[in-house]
Amino acid sequence: MRKPDPCVLVIFGASGDLTARKLIPALYEMRAIGALPEHFKVLGVSRREKTDDAWRAELAASVQQHAKRWDAERWAEFAKCIHYFAGDAAQTAMYSGLEERLRKFDEESNTHGNRLFYLSVGPELYESIVQRIEDAALVTEGKRWCSINSSERSWQRIIIEKPFGHDEQSAASLNRTLGRVFEEEDIYRIDHYLGKEVVQAMLVLRFANTIFEPVWNHRYIDHVQVTAVETVGVGNRTAFFDSTGAIRDMIQSHLLQIFAFVAMEPPTAITAEDIRAEKIKAVRAIRPTTPETVATHGVLGQYGKSADEDAYVDLPGVAKGSTTETYAAIKLHVDNWRWAGTPFYFRTGKHMAKKCTEIVVQFKPPAANLFPGIPHQSGKVLGNRLVIEIAPFQQTRLRFESKVPGTPLSIASVEMQADFDKQFGVEALEAYGPLLIDAMRGDQSLYKHRIEVESGWAAVMPFLDSSSATIRKSIASNYAPGSWGPAAADEMMARDGRAWHNE
């Protein structure tokens, strides 16, 4: 793969949790495997006054805790490229000093005028910071030759964290603001789930194996489930969560991105442009949910009191009478030739029975039962089932029917399992690492296009706006912590003759 270009990664909101727990440990791992460019700098921007050495010391403690392996000598070498700049990113006055610091990096470290801006700040600051970047003339893409090699132009790119907007209208507004300052090819809407190995492996599973693609359609697949659930509650994130909820936090972002890889058509080639083009088509093909069908296509819930935590509605920071969902299950359809009539079920929740992120592809049972009256472990011949587990383990399991050894004839379901950690003997990298390298290389394969984002919001808005009033009426404490969620979610599946995969 092409080595990333020399550049400066400018992290706005550098004192935040994301930088210490994820970004810097990920970059440390990337340096350890030789993936970072030779000429590279990190410039953290935050309001707190501190020196480069003080920030490096803080980050060293965090990297020891969160990186896969710690090596003091390796860290000391990597820390030389880490720097700090104190300033309020929302104030115009800061940017002249920031520009001067960046220019010095170009002169002293051969970073070629290339900048990768990372907005690790509250979403309410996104648009103002983008505007300040433009006002300070920090975006010179196509306007200035780099200072080192006169045959190359410098580039400036921006990475935007989720949540990307609060609803369809705010997402479109943010996209317009970004589009006035950056070209679409320079805007990187990050979703760290797309940095996970198993999600990327979907492309290989589907398109490098003849046995899957011919049956990857409505004729053979009964339905698909995309689940991401946790055993923990909201904890101390009540202020954020109560204004966000499970749908905004997980389904609109992470789960719809996973869905796009499951549902997309084969790309012409494995390039960013071709992959994104097919993902866009898949998300845009989601059938709009009408207000009349919201009640039958969605279930929302809040967890009740447990032994070690109050019910969600009683937590400090949660608005009185809040109807923000800590659990959501929704059903969507895709109106295209491949998926016509095949439902996709999405489920996410806090305080659930287990921690799990997975894709379940449930195939239809055989068209004719050739084994009537033959004993079966489950009572009947079952359809094949492919489970792609993303967390906590990275593995793929395929269920099929088999004769039980011995006589007389009887049938049981068996499972083949591919455990990627055991098979390849490599520890998975922090998901942010490869994504940051891709942004430095100008590869948007695993980043979201503006149309994907806005189409994703359009798909979930009926479960968030006034249309969802009916399914929010009885939301308070409607499922017990440690359970699989509200009983209404099981009833929704039962009406369709299906059941959640709760194994």
Task: Looking at mean pLDDT, say which of 62-71, 111-120, 380-389 comes out highest.
Answer: 111-120
Report, as an integer, the average pLDDT of 397-402. 91
Using 50, 70 and 90 to split pLDDT, how confident is the model at 43?
very high
Summarize pLDDT for 342-383 with one digit per residue, the tens: 999 999 999 999 999 999 999 998 887 878 778 777 777 788
- The CATH 3.30.360.10 domain(s) of the chain lie at 194-495
Indicate if the pLDDT at residue 326 is higher than 70. Answer: yes
Summarize pLDDT for 90-142 with one digit per residue, the tens: 999 999 999 999 999 999 999 989 999 999 998 899 999 999 999 999 998 65
Summarize pLDDT for 11-33 with one digit per residue, the tens: 999 998 899 999 999 999 999 99
Cα torsion for 207, 213, 217, 220, to the nearest 10°?
-150
Indicate if the pLDDT at residue 143 is higher than 70. Answer: no
Report, as an integer, the average pLDDT of 374-395. 84
- Give CA–CA dist 344/342, Å, rounded: 7
- The CATH 3.40.50.720 domain(s) of the chain lie at 7-161
- Give CA–CA dist 218/397, Å, rounded: 21
Task: Give 194-495's CATH code, choosing from 3.30.360.10, 2.40.110.10, 3.40.50.150, 3.20.190.10.
Answer: 3.30.360.10
H/E stretch holding 134:
helix 126-135
pLDDT at 308: 84
CATH number of 7-161: 3.40.50.720
Q: Which residues are catalytic?
A: 254
H/E stretch holding 131:
helix 126-135
Residues ≥6 apart with Cβ < 8 Å to 393: 419, 421
pLDDT at 302: 97
